[in-house]
Chain A
Amino acid sequence: MSGMSLETMQRRMLAAVMQPLTPEDTMRERNEAGERMADVAAEFVAPNDRLTAFERLEIYNRQYWFRLLGALGEDFPALRRVLGSRRFDALAVAYLKEHPSRSFTLRNLGRELVGWMRKHPEYLGRRKRLALDVARVEWACVEAFDNGELAPLTAEEIGDLHGGSRLGLQAHLQLLELDFPADDVVLELHQRERKGASEGGARPEMGEMKPEALDVERRRTWLAVHRADGSLYYRRITKEEYQTLTALGRGLGLGEALGAGFRRSRIGPAERPAALQEWFAHWAGLSWLTKPEIEERA
């Protein structure tokens, strides 16, 4: 232990703690560099009368992984049920090896998961697209629940709008284009999760779980996940609503966004004004439209 700088000791400790566990959830005998972990532990951990240096270090190694896997499982309970616990744990370990926690809060742990899943379909089982959609909905819930809330447009601001005006989207509003009605799946699986927890009297996440049998057919679905007074809501939207809102979110002017909204639309020109009036009334009622941030900063 002597002669090792504090920085070196911290780096050695961090590398040891972040090293993935064995399939039996114990610390590995050797690290990736081939060093014996018993020797590594002895560099900076003193044994006591009950535990060796290896065993003391192993406690931290295990707790690191248990905590991270628990946190990820907590944010993606439906994905865990779609994949089954064994496949989910393998996915989580592989993901966390590439994207370890780099934030001061575990809230951000799953931030890269959807992108990572797209690059690693080998971890997604048979229903790859469904798993991806479920993960997207669950992450959208995290964002919608935690993000801030911007002031909606006022009547005065609406009075000043014209075709070139740009609008912002509410910070907690999440817009998704899905291959499956994954909101239904997530709702159902979250209900089963809660039911399992209440029947068991405890959180069910640690037990082994087989992939859920799901009767869901592929169907293009457009979804908004948003928050109202501290509660989360799903709202199915039309393709045209999705296209208009995302166009506004990209910073297009109002007139251009309306045009983009009806790209490849089956809604005839005569029906469009009425549809727009209804949509904008709903969006404003839900406080989805705000001043664009760029104007707020100016």
Chain B
Amino acid sequence: MKKQLNALMLSAALAGLAVGTHVAQAQPVTQDSAKVTTAKGAGVRYAGYSMDKEKHACKGQNSCKGNGGCKSGDNGCAGKNSCKGKGGCATDGSKPPKAA
């Protein structure tokens, strides 16, 4: 009985995955991307941060904030810590510049 339930649950999860992936890959019908359209249908709420709306001390200099995987340390705002918010997350395996 338990095995049967587990198999049912697994099938259901995989079926959901397949449907969700199909929707995510579908062409958007509005100006929003498929992901944003899906998000709106999944009970999500805008948290008030957008790349294009984000204000920052280094106005306009934090262009890679939100892009993720960005490399920091370009000193674009000379002395104003331009790299704040740029992540430095180095998801591509690169290393941040050597610093203290």
Query: A102: shortest Cβ distance to chain B, in Å?
Result: 7
Q: Are A187 and B89 in contact (CB under 8 A)?
A: no
Chain B CB within 10 Å, residue with most, of A109, A225, A229 = A229
Query: A19: shortest Cβ distance to chain B, in Å?
Result: 17
Residue of B nearest to A231 (CB): B50
A171-B68, A230-B66 known; A106+B83 contact, CB < 8 A: yes
The reply to whether the CB of A196 lies closer than 8 angstroms to some CB of chain B is no
Stretch at the interface among A31-39, A113-121, A123-131, A145-153: A145-153
Query: A92: shortest Cβ distance to chain B, in Å?
Result: 15
A106-B81, A231-B36, A269-B5 known; A191+B21 contact, CB < 8 A: no
CA gap between A171 and B92 in the complex, in Å = 12
Instruction: Please indicate the chain B residues that have their CB under 8 angstroms from the CB of A105 in the complex.
Output: 72-73, 81, 83-84, 86-88, 96
Instruction: Please indicate the chain B residues that have their CB under 8 angstroms from the CB of A258 in the complex.
Output: 6, 9-10, 13
A107-B72, A155-B22, A255-B6 known; A71+B38 contact, CB < 8 A: no
Interface residues of B (CB under 8 A from A): 5-6, 8-25, 32-36, 38-39, 41-52, 57, 65-70, 72-73, 81, 83-89, 91-92, 96-97, 99-100
Residue of A nearest to B15 (CB): A277
The reply to whether the CB of A218 lies closer than 8 angstroms to some CB of chain B is no
Please classify the interface of chain A as helix (H, G, I), strand (E, B), loop, or mixed, using the class held by over half of its residues. Answer: helix
Given contacts A234-B45, A273-B11, A285-B42, 19 further A-B contacts (CB under 8 A): A71-B84, A102-B100, A104-B99, A105-B73, A106-B81, A146-B70, A146-B85, A149-B68, A153-B17, A155-B22, A158-B18, A158-B21, A228-B39, A272-B12, A277-B15, A277-B19, A282-B42, A285-B20, A285-B34
Instruction: Please indicate the chain B residues that have their CB under 8 angstroms from the CB of A3 in the complex.
Output: none
Task: Give 1 or 0 for each of A273-298: 1 = CB within 8 Å of chain B CB.
Answer: 11011111111111101000000000
Q: Are B51 and A274 in contact (CB under 8 A)?
A: no
CA gap between A255 and B3 in the complex, in Å = 11
Residue of B nearest to A154 (CB): B21
The reply to whether the CB of A259 lies closer than 8 angstroms to some CB of chain B is yes
CA gap between A99 and B59 in the complex, in Å = 27
Q: Are A146 and B16 in contact (CB under 8 A)?
A: no
Contact of A233 among B5, B46, B52 (CB under 8 A): B46
The reply to whether the CB of A263 lies closer than 8 angstroms to some CB of chain B is no
Instruction: Please indicate the chain A residues that have their CB under 8 angstroms from the CB of B86 in the complex.
Output: 105, 107, 146
Contact of A107 among B17, B35, B45, B87 (CB under 8 A): B87
Q: Are A225 and B47 in contact (CB under 8 A)?
A: yes
Contact of A280 among B16, B24, B88 (CB under 8 A): B16
Q: Are A282 and B20 in contact (CB under 8 A)?
A: yes
Q: Are B9 and A147 in contact (CB under 8 A)?
A: no
The reply to whether the CB of A200 lies closer than 8 angstroms to some CB of chain B is no
Q: Are B45 and A187 in contact (CB under 8 A)?
A: yes
Contact of A276 among B12, B24, B50, B69 (CB under 8 A): B12
Q: Are A108 and B88 in contact (CB under 8 A)?
A: yes
Instruction: Please indicate the chain A residues that have their CB under 8 angstroms from the CB of B66 in the complex.
Output: 145-146, 227, 230
10 of the cross-chain contacts (CB-CB < 8 Å) are A103-B96, A105-B86, A153-B17, A190-B48, A233-B46, A235-B39, A273-B8, A277-B13, A277-B19, A286-B42
